[in-house]
Amino acid sequence: MITFSHVYKTYPGPVHALRDVTIEIQKGEFLFLTGPSGAGKTTLFRMISAFDKPSSGIVHIAGQSVGEMTSSQVPYFRRKIGVVFQDFRLLKGRSVFDNVALPLEIRGEKPAQLQRRVDEMLENVGLIYKKKNTIEQLSGGEQQRVAIARALIHQPGVLIADEPTGNLDPQMSEEIMDLLDRVNAQGTTVFVATHDHELVKRRAKRVVQIRNGQIEMDQ
C-alpha cells in the first residue's frame, strides 16, 4: 500500500528533511508516527499525499510512483488519500454539511447522491444533528470530527492525520482515536502523526519513530 525505499528529501538551504527512509505499510494497517518537531513527519506525509516528491529514492502509494507522477495525475491520485490537517483547514462561515460535502462537489457528484453520502458520514461521526451549524459554532472536538468526515467522504484507501488530538482534552482525544479505530476496522489504512506518547502507549499499534529525517524505531 505505502512503500518508501531509500528516500531522501533535501530542501534549499540545504535542509535534509529525510535521510535514507525505508518503510513499508500494508493495506489496512494502523500506524503511529512519532518524533520531535522538525524530525521529518510533515515531509513524509507530504510525500504520501503527493504535495512533495523525493529528491532521490522511491515512494510508491497504492501502486503509483509519487516521483514519476505528472501534475495532471495528482488530483486523481489524491482521491485515494484522505488528509486531516493539524489546523483542520475548515471553511469558516460555512455549515458542517458544506464542509464535508466539498470533496464530492469538486468531483461533480450528483446532488441526491451527495446528500445521502454526507448525511451517512455525519451520522458515523455523531454530527448529523449539527449539520446546519457553522464551523464557528462547534467545539474543538466537533471541528476535528468534521475534518475527519471530510477526509473520509470520498472513501479513500489511506487516511493520514497530522496531530489529530493535539488541541483536545484527554477524553476527546480518546473519542477521536476510537473514531479512527472504527475507520481502520472498515479497511482503511490509517497513519497518525502525534507527540502524545501516553496516547500511543494506550493503543496497541505499530509505532515508527523518526528523528533528524531518519527512522529511529519501527515496532
Cell reading at 43: 515531509
Total-model pTM: 0.90
What's residue 171's pLDDT? 83
What's residue 5's pLDDT? 96
**199: pLDDT strictly greater than 90:** no
What's residue 56's pLDDT? 96
What's residue 85's pLDDT? 85
More confident residue, 87 or 137: 137
**209: pLDDT strictly greater than 80:** yes
**120: pLDDT strictly greater than 80:** yes
- The DSSP string of 117-149 is HHHHHHHHTT-GGGTTSBGGGS-HHHHHHHHHH
The sheet that has 214-218: what strands, in order across it? Answer: 81-84, 158-162, 189-193, 30-34, 206-211, 214-218
Residue pair 39/213 in contact (Cβ under 8 Å)? The answer is yes
Class assignment of domain 2-218? alpha beta
How far, in Å, CA of 99 to CA of 131, rounded?
9
Cell reading at 89: 483547514
Mean pLDDT over 44-60 rounds to 94
Residue pair 126/145 in contact (Cβ under 8 Å)? The answer is yes
What's residue 191's pLDDT? 94
Mean pLDDT over 18-22 rounds to 97
Mean pLDDT (the chain) is 91
How far, in Å, CA of 207 to CA of 114, rounded?
36
pLDDT digits (tens, 9 = 90+) for 55-113: 999 999 988 999 999 999 998 898 889 999 888 889 999 999 999 999 999 888 999 99
Residue 196: pLDDT band with limits 50, 70, 90: confident
Residue 164: pLDDT band with limits 50, 70, 90: confident
* Out of 68-82, 95-109, 122-136, 167-181, least confident range: 167-181
Residue 207: pLDDT band with limits 50, 70, 90: very high
Name residue 186's amino acid: Q
Give the dihedral of Cα atoms 46, 48, 53, 55; nearest 10 deg.
100
Mean pLDDT over 127-152 rounds to 93
**37: pLDDT strictly greater than 90:** no
Domain boundaries, the chain: 2-218
